[in-house]
């Protein structure tokens, strides 16, 4: 045992060796299975080369499932890009590695075994018309199999929780990868949420009250409703990422405000 009570054996076994190489190697197989699903769902939902509303309705489970699958694909691509950027900047530490590792392990396992779209609905590759051969090839890919079996482990999750507890005073856990401007925006709206939202959110919820106009007016003065509107039209002309950051921080105070 370490002097602070941490089990060093657990820490040593939580991370995967060659993590970034493994996660990068899994992405082509994800892209292949997404393409197989796309081809199948397109055949179910098009008529004469055009998307059919009636066929979308008739095959809405497959269409909805494909949207989830494509989102998982894009999420993993962006996770890899985030990890690569942090590595290049020397900021890909243990916390970031475990977040990356666990995310890949979980998402790949869900792609292979079933994506939980909500509490009562799961989409499987076969529901989107993906052949058994394509499913088997995906599961047999060495990088995919390794990540499914070794990435999202109890040891990895336990260690990440320990690190999260150590960083409980921080605004975020791990390096966000955001640029300086977006971090400044995050800090600004985090302070606002702590001061003007969190102390009152529970009462708003219990009393089923609308968000007070005072809060709406203050957010308007801070430019929330014009973040991504071009400057020539009176907005700030910021990126969609800025909108995500603001929504995250306000939601941290109360989801209704976010």
State CA 127 to chain mean position distance. Answer: 23
pLDDT at 9: 46
Max mean pLDDT range (11-20, 122-131, 161-170) = 122-131
Q: Does residue 8 carry a pLDDT above 70?
A: no
Alpha-carbon gap, residue 102 to 76, rounded angstroms: 11
Domain layout of the chain by residue ranges: 8-166, 180-253
Alpha-carbon gap, residue 7 to 1, rounded angstroms: 5
Q: Is the pTM of this model over 0.85?
A: no
Over residues 86-130, the pLDDT tens digits come to 999 999 999 999 999 999 999 999 999 999 999 999 999 999 999
Q: Does residue 143 carry a pLDDT above 70?
A: yes
Over residues 228-255, the pLDDT tens digits come to 889 899 888 888 888 998 899 899 888 8
Q: Output the CATH code of domain 180-253.
A: 1.10.540.10
Over residues 27-36, the pLDDT tens digits come to 999 999 999 9
Q: Which fold has domain 8-166?
A: Butyryl-CoA Dehydrogenase, subunit A; domain 3 (1.20.140)
């Amino acid at each position: 045992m370490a002097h602070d009570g941490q089990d060093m054996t657990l820490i040593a076994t939580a991370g995967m060796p060659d993590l970034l190489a493994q996660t990068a190697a899994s992405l082509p197989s994800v892209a292949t299975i997404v393409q197989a699903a796309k081809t199948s769902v397109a055949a179910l939902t098009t008529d004469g080369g055009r998307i059919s509303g009636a066929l979308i309705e008739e095959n809405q489970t497959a269409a909805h499932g494909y949207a989830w699958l494509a989102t998982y694909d894009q999420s993993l691509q962006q996770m890899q890009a985030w990890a690569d950027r942090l590595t290049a900047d020397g900021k890909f530490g243990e916390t970031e590695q475990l977040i990356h590792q666990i995310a890949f392990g979980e998402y790949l396992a869900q792609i292979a075994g079933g994506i939980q779209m909500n509490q009562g609905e799961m989409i499987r590759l076969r529901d989107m018309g993906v052949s058994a051969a394509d499913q088997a090839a995906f599961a047999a890919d060495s990088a995919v199999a390794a990540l499914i079996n070794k990435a999202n482990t109890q040891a990895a999750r336990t260690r990440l929780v320990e690190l999260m507890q150590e960083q409980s005073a921080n605004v975020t856990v791990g390096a966000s990868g955001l640029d300086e401007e977006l971090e400044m925006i995050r800090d600004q709206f985090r302070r606002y949420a702590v001061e003007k939202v969190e102390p009152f959110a529970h009462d708003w919820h219990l009393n089923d009250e609308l968000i007070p106009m005072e809060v709406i007016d203050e957010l308007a003065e801070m430019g929330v409703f014009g973040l991504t509107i071009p400057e020539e039209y009176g907005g700030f002309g910021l990126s969609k990422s800025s909108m995500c950051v603001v929504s995250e921080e306000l939601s941290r105070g109360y989801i209704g405000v976010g």
